[in-house]
Amino acid sequence: MRGTCRTMCLTRPENEPRNPVPADDSFFMMQKALQLLEESVKAAMRQRDGSPAVSGQPVLERFTAPLGEVDATRWLSAQRLFPRLFWMNREKSEWIAGIGEADRIEISETGPNDRSFLVLDEAMQRKNPHARYIGGFCFNNLQKQNDLWKAFSPGLFILPLVSVEYRDGQASMSCSMWLKPGDDRQKALEQLLLTLSEVSAGDAPEAPAIPEVTQVAYCPDKTRWIENCETILRNFDEGKLDKVILARQTELSFAGKVPAIRFLLDYPFPENTAYRFYFEPAEGHAFVSFTPERLYRRDGDMLETEALAGTVTKEALKADDSAASELLLNSEKDIREHRFVKDTIYRELQPVCSDIDMQEQVGVLQLNRLAHLLARCKARLLPEFSNDSTVLRQLHPTPAVGGVPREKAMSLILSIEPFCRGWYAAPVGWLSRDAAEFAVGIRSALVNDDKVYLYSGAGLVRGSNPESEWEEVDQKIGDIMAITQQTS
């Protein structure tokens, strides 16, 4: 059964702010919003109607207060309620910072990713259309997830208990309560009120700095990497494969526990055209991705996706944006690599979409250190396929993180890579019943107490050079390495 939604918004407080003079405007607005939310919850406690025990179906109660311009990452870093979550789109026009858990959708069993996507979609049909869940999947649920990823289920999506959001040009603070039939509404409201009283307005001490790196290790090491690349190149020569994405895990050891939130706070290139995804289900265990790659955006039956592949490293070549574009657009190897992605996406969408508009002229996406070939695509999902399980099944993994042909490439990756990809290169993002946006979780890090594991990959096609691909991976993790003060 689909849950109903009861929303309450207040625009001014009934009393003065809870605390005296604020430290700055952002802090003051957060204080005021928290007071408004408390007043909303108190007002709801005085209402005895709408109990899920009476209505017989789940109820989402959501309370919202307006905000002006605020620093959401600073607010998030001040919180001690977990999970801590953050999402920002590439255009920086939409973001959400969330803490706590009003509801969750968790997929714990192993099996094909297609099954996980279907389970998620079935669960979402029972949720309220206004509820927006944040989370992700593992790259390949046929691979046994190892202890490094123990805090991350094969699929996990969280409806935050308290969130600060920016959407449609407006910022707000909200708290959510998901009540199932039989739940005690008054007790749930009392608990929500208690939680709000413990939420910081952003005045907690700054998170400590990242400790010193004591050791760097690679899995695979460079010798094994070259051997793996040569194995893949032989498959190309034998006509078995056209493209494979080979990834590397870089393990950083630190002198003490790493405050994961610093990766979000200290991202050195805020103007980069990249998504920011942060998921910390338990303190000290977080997955963070600064990815340039959209998997898709869905609004109803309208779909936006893209082909992103082919790379030049501007620093290594001492190239500016113009020179990088020229190099990419005249590189036979990169054009061929990108065409595999573009053609595959078009082919995968044909059975489930109409009006597919794939950009003919390939453009270039400029980042701080890198540039990539890009072609955007818009399509309309057919009525029977207007759901996220269909889109996820058709698009993941794209040839930009898997390979061509898909199944053979996935099988080879599983057999040749000596580590577990976990959530790296998997769909990460948010979804509601009627809309969703997923990015591809590349350029990413897994934080586990005093260790951080960096993940990135390189696209191998016929003619690829293993040494160059190793250097490309170094460039792709450069932004995250800069946060650890290993590079500038």
Pick out the residues of the known binding site for Mg(2+): 337, 472
**In 10-112, where does DSSP find H-type helix?**
25-45, 52-55, 72-77
The answer to whether residues 67 and 11 touch, using CB atoms and an 8 Å cutoff, is no
Residue type, position 408, single letter: K
User: Other C-beta atoms within 10 Å of 321: how many?
Assistant: 12
Distances (CA, A) of 429 to 270, 299, 392, 432: 19, 14, 12, 11
- Write b or e for each residue in 351-389: b if 16 or more Cβ atoms lie within 10 A of its Cβ, otherwise e: ebbeebebeeebebbbbbbbbbbbbebbbebeeebbbbb
- What one-character DSSP code corresponds to residue 204? S
Q: Which one from 39, 293, 306, 348 is the annotated catalytic residue? A: 293
Alpha-carbon dihedral angle through residues 363, 367, 368, 370, given to the nearest 10 degrees: -70
Positions of E strands within 283-417: 285-289, 294-299, 302-313, 353-358, 363-366, 370-381, 403-404
Q: Which long-range contacts (CB under 8 A, 24 or more apart) does 416-419 make?
A: 416/228, 416/231, 416/232, 416/246, 417/220, 417/228, 417/246, 417/247, 418/219, 418/220, 418/224, 419/219, 419/249
**What is the distance, to the nearest Å, from the Cα of residue 332 to the centroid of all Cα atoms in its chain?**
32
Tokens of 251: 């393990």
Residues 6+ apart with CB under 8 A from 294: 90, 275, 304, 305, 306, 308, 437, 438, 439, 440
Q: How many whole angstroms separate alpha carbon 77 and alpha carbon 75?
A: 6
Q: What angle do CA 282, 82, 129 make, to 5 degrees?
A: 115
- Could you tell me which residues are annotated as the binding site? 337, 472
In the residue annotation, 314 being an active-site residue is answered as no
Residues 6+ apart with CB under 8 A from 480: 263, 288, 290, 443, 444, 445, 454
Question: Cis before residue 405, ω within 30 degrees of 0?
Answer: yes
**In 166-221, where does DSSP find H-type helix?**
185-198
Tokens of 296: 């898709």
In the residue annotation, 91 being an active-site residue is answered as no
The answer to whether residues 241 and 408 touch, using CB atoms and an 8 Å cutoff, is yes
Nearest residue to 136 (alpha-carbon basis) of 396, 345, 315: 396
Q: How many whole angstroms separate alpha carbon 109 and alpha carbon 426?
A: 17
**What are the catalytic residues?**
243, 293
